[in-house]
């Protein structure tokens, strides 16, 4: 039995997929989600084998869902999209399969058969590589992150990057310091740094990134290091390795 999850913000689209699956006895629809946040929670809690994932949804779209879960941890995905033909080239190259709205029964069966084959063969490693490549293509035209998705105490919420004072590495997580609050996010510091605007966030040592807007003053230390004092009184120390970047941006 293949356990499937349907994710789409349009009720008529979810109903259409469910109707297409009615004649597939080996497919069990375990849940429907109306947005990306619900999808993340359902994928993590219910571990479906297959996800029908809408690309364009308010707040959090299909690509962001894959990014938050991680391509290596994603089930098999059939993307559902209203993208134009030009944008579909990335799907044709990298995705397991996609359904262009509106789709017919024959096209649906083709996508489902391909997904079923991958799941039965358990060759999801290839699918993961395809998802990684698709995310890479998607990011080429993407702006820097403006908000972060935080999962805490059973809830998921957004945190604007403007609210973040500084960030520190915590193994495979990062700890975000925002005012008096701290939030853990499942992400490496290197990956997060690549998604943040370098004109706003600066790596000051191997384990620390600081929001330049939050810097109040700098105090030179020995060996090219600086003590960086934030507006909230927090003091951080930069390392010599990042002195040139710090000097170039802050003119010190």
Q: Is 85 exposed, middle or buried (0-12, 13-18, 19+ CB in 10 A)?
A: exposed
Q: Number of C-alpha atoms within 13 angstroms, CB side, residue 110?
A: 9
Which of 209, 229, 208, 207 shows the shortest CA–CA distance to 218? 229
Which of 202, 203, 211 shows the shortest CA–CA distance to 232? 211
C-alpha distances in angstroms, 227 versus 32, 151, 214? 51, 32, 14
CA dihedral (241, 244, 250, 252) in degrees, to 10, reads 100
Question: What pLDDT, on a 0 to 100 scale, did the predictor assign at position 86?
Answer: 42
Helix (H) or strand (E) holding 54, with range, is strand 50-54
Question: CB of 78 within 8 A of CB of 24?
Answer: no
Question: What pLDDT, on a 0 to 100 scale, did the predictor assign at position 212?
Answer: 93
3-state SS, residue 160: strand
C-alpha to C-alpha distance for 8 and 32, rounded to whole angstroms: 8
Question: What pLDDT, on a 0 to 100 scale, did the predictor assign at position 153?
Answer: 74
What string of pLDDT tens digits covers the 252 residues of the chain?
999 999 999 999 999 999 999 988 899 999 999 999 899 999 999 999 999 999 888 778 888 888 888 777 888 889 888 776 545 655 665 567 788 888 889 999 998 998 888 888 776 666 666 677 666 666 545 567 888 888 877 777 888 899 999 999 998 889 999 999 999 988 888 888 888 888 899 999 999 999 999 999 888 887 778 899 999 999 999 888 877 777 766 665
CA angle 99, 103, 105 (to 5 degrees): 110
3-state SS, residue 115: helix
C-alpha distances in angstroms, 194 versus 81, 143, 187, 191, 235? 27, 11, 11, 5, 24
Catalogue all structural domains in the chain, each as residue range(s) with its CATH number.
Answer: 2-140 (3.40.50.2300), 147-250 (2.40.50.1020)
């Amino acid at each position: 039995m293949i356990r499937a999850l349907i994710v789409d913000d349009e009720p008529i689209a979810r109903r259409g997929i469910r109707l297409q699956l009615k004649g597939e006895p080996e497919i069990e629809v375990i849940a429907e989600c109306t947005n990306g946040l619900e999808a993340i929670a359902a994928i993590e809690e219910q571990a479906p084998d297959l996800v029908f994932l809408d690309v364009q949804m308010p707040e959090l779209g299909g690509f962001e869902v894959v990014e938050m879960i991680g391509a290596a941890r994603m089930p098999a995905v059939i993307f559902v999209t209203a993208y134009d033909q030009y944008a579909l080239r990335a799907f044709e190259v990298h995705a397991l399969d996609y359904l262009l709205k509106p789709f017919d029964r024959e096209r649906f069966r083709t996508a489902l058969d391909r997904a079923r084959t991958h799941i039965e063969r358990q060759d999801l490693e290839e699918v993961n590589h395809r998802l990684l490549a698709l995310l890479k293509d998607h990011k080429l035209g993407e702006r820097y992150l403006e908000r972060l998705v935080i999962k805490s105490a059973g809830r998921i919420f957004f945190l604007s990057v403007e609210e973040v004072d500084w960030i520190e590495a915590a193994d495979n997580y990062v700890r975000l310091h925002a005012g008096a609050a701290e939030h853990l996010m499942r992400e490496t510091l290197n990956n997060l740094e690549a998604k943040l605007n370098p004109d706003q966030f600066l790596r000051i040592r191997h384990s620390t990134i600081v929001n330049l807007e939050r810097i109040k003053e700098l105090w030179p230390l020995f060996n090219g290091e600086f003590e960086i004092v934030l507006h909230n009184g927090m003091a951080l120390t930069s390392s010599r390795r990042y002195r040139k970047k710090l000097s170039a941006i802050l003119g010190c």
